[in-house]
A and B are shown apart, each in its own frame.
Chain A
Amino acid sequence: MEVNAEARRILAVSISKLYASRTQRGGLRLHRSLLVSLVMRSARDIYHASRESEAPGAPTPQEPMDSSPSSEEQKQLPPQEAEPAQTEPQCALSPAPQTAVEAEECACDSEITEDKENMSPAARQSRKRRSKASAAPDFLPSKRARLEPGEERYAAPLGSCRVGASCITSCLFPHNSACCASL
């Protein structure tokens, strides 16, 4: 139980660090973001493991979380579980800045969601038109090339994204490609 609480606290601290690093001078520090994301992953794994050991018979607990400040970081967990409902670029790009930005705003959510109504805002985003929300995180200016007549716009491979965007997403969701590739 104590491990659980510590894991949650570390998750909260880590998210605020990632969020703060977006605005620091000199740009996103790749090394530091990677280390923070590793800590977050350890904390998340331990948190999951301890929750599973608490309720071993419940495959998808539907009960809502308590309204506590620390439940805000559960934002990170729903996008993971809700992945099957999203397309690949979405789960890569949109949850990260969305969850960071909305951590303070949103009320608590249920931890594991199959329930559309209670999907995290990030997951719900997939139904919005892509042009606005998905192309780049909101803190980077949007620069899309002008198309020649007859050319089609296609989804850019993730690896070629600006360093800033891809760093955050890659740091937060290193397993994304594995999850989405299995669809």
Chain B
Amino acid sequence: MAGVAGGNDFQWCFSQVKGAIDEDVAEADIISTVEFNYSGELLATGDKGGRVVIFQHEQESKSRPHLRGEYNVYSTFQSHEPEFDYLKSLEIEEKINKIRWLPQQNAAHFLLSTNDKTIKLWKISERDKRAEGYNLKDEDGRLRDPFRITSLRVPVLMPMDLMVEASPRRIFANAHTYHINSISVNSDHETYLSADDLRINLWHLEITDRSFNIVDIKPANMEELTEVITAAECHPHQCNVFVYSSSKGTIRLCDMRAAALCDRHSKFFEEPEDPSSRSFFSEIISSISDVKFSHSGRYMMTRDYLSVKVWDLNMENRPVETYQVHEYLRSKLCSLYENDCIFDKFECCWNGSDSAIMTGSYNNFFRMFDRNTRRDITLEASRESSKPRATLKPRKVSTGGKRKKDEISVDSLDFNKKILHTAWHPKDNVIAVAATNNLYIFQDKIN
């Protein structure tokens, strides 16, 4: 169970950090997505340069069974390359927007990775044996002289150094006019959906030349456009249900059994706006940047600029829980608009048991909320607290006039250090936090 606050029984400590240390961060190295696979054995990251790096959890060593194993690099490959759309004279960025794993069905691992326009299915497989003793070839590959072959032998499989190969098995292209923001694998393990600003498509994993358009909110006259799709996800158990969030802060739940085109929602989730907090930027901060179902499928969580909300799927008129991530930024919205931070899209995630949620903030801070105890904690991903198994100290931002000793004032926050992408291991208390070009892995302290 994940207790969140730093009580006597539970604390987070540093485990590993991946990535270069230099101050000068190459844009291509900025991590743009993080995702554990279903078992938590593999952890994938995608970056702005179109690369995917997969880490594998090593088994705990027999000599020190009380320590969790580490995540080490398992495979690295270039998933997407920059492209050019000649018709529109536009560059297509190679940045990986999302990675989603498929449930494992055989020895190989499969994942979907997407940039703005194209989704690819990658197969990652291991090769640790090699056939030796061919009849017609020498070990170095040269053809043997036929006159020298006097007997027949059966090639034998010999062990070799482990080689992990990644190969693209399917490429799903040319189905999105606008920029893809989400992909989600369906619980039937045969289909998946992809969403861009105005449309959502349903694909079959085996079929690349067709997809079904299931949501289309493009108005006949683009000048009447008032909202866009910001995220979409399939229900974890009901393969006919999915949700999508909008830039207006609303979520629509759709049932694919109702109609081929799910333009009419089955449920519509919206919290009435508080008129007293209206400002120039009310619309921007209510735009939802991420939506995630709980593992149970009973709840869903949405992230907007300042808060995280948990919704009960049975109640549409308001969320059941609201957590403030960094309310102290509400008075700074104008500056955040000028420096573009107000457009940052933070993600959020559940822990394995749905008892806690996590999301990122600025200054390399990330926040966790325990839904049962209602306690929250702010932690920092920094090189300073990167000693092995060092306990993370809770951080606090001072909002009032007086700043206490260990607190940091709002004006000292570094808005270039933002944690947009976090992931929680599906079973254990292990979290992966992407801080620009570094990936931090934290785990609970095993007492």
Asked whether A and B interact, the reply is yes
Interface residues of A (CB under 8 A from B): 6-7, 10, 13, 17, 25-27, 29-32, 34-35, 38-39, 42-43, 46, 92, 140-141, 158-159, 161-164, 166-167, 169-171, 173-174, 176-177
Q: Which residues of A contact B340 (CB under 8 A)?
A: 17
Interface positions of B (Cβ within 8 A of A): 85, 88-93, 95, 116, 177-179, 181, 197-198, 219-228, 230, 247, 280-281, 283-284, 287, 334, 337-338, 340, 343
Question: With a CB–CB cut-off of 8 A, which chain A residues contact B178?
Answer: 30, 163
**Is B91 a contact of A25 with CB atoms below 8 Å?**
yes
Closest chain A CB from B9 CB (angstroms): 43
- Cα A32 to Cα B226 with chains together (Å): 12
Which of A17, A164, A176 is B223 in contact with, Cβ under 8 Å? A176
CB distance from B425 to the nearest CB of A (A): 31
- A29 and B179 CA atoms in complex are apart in Å by 8
Checking B197, B223, B281 against A170 with a beta-carbon cut-off of 8 angstroms, the contacting residue is B223
A27-B88, A30-B178, A163-B88 in contact; A10/B225 too (CB < 8 A)?
no
A-B contact pairs, 27 of them (CB 8 A): A6-B280, A6-B334, A10-B337, A26-B92, A26-B116, A27-B88, A27-B91, A30-B197, A31-B179, A31-B230, A32-B343, A34-B225, A35-B287, A38-B283, A39-B281, A39-B337, A92-B223, A141-B89, A158-B223, A159-B222, A163-B177, A163-B178, A166-B222, A166-B223, A169-B222, A174-B225, A176-B223
Secondary structure dominating the interface of A: helix
Closest 9 CB pairs of A and B: A27-B90, A26-B93, A170-B223, A166-B222, A170-B222, A30-B197, A38-B283, A31-B228, A35-B284
Cα A140 to Cα B225 in complex, Å, equals 22
CB B94 to nearest CB in A, in angstroms, measures: 10
Contacts of B91 in A (CB 8 A): 25-27
B90→A164 contact, CB < 8 A: yes
CB atoms of A158 and B222 under 8 A apart: yes
Kindly provide the distance from the CB of A137 to the nearest chain B CB, expressed in whole angstroms: 12
Please, which residues of chain B bring their CB within 8 A of the CB of A27?
85, 88, 90-92, 179
User: Which A residues are in CB contact (< 8 Å) with B280?
Assistant: 6-7, 10, 39, 42-43, 46
Instruction: Write the chain B residue with the least CB distance to A31.
Output: B228
User: Which of A92, A161, A170 has the most C-beta atoms of chain B within 10 angstroms of its own C-beta?
Assistant: A170
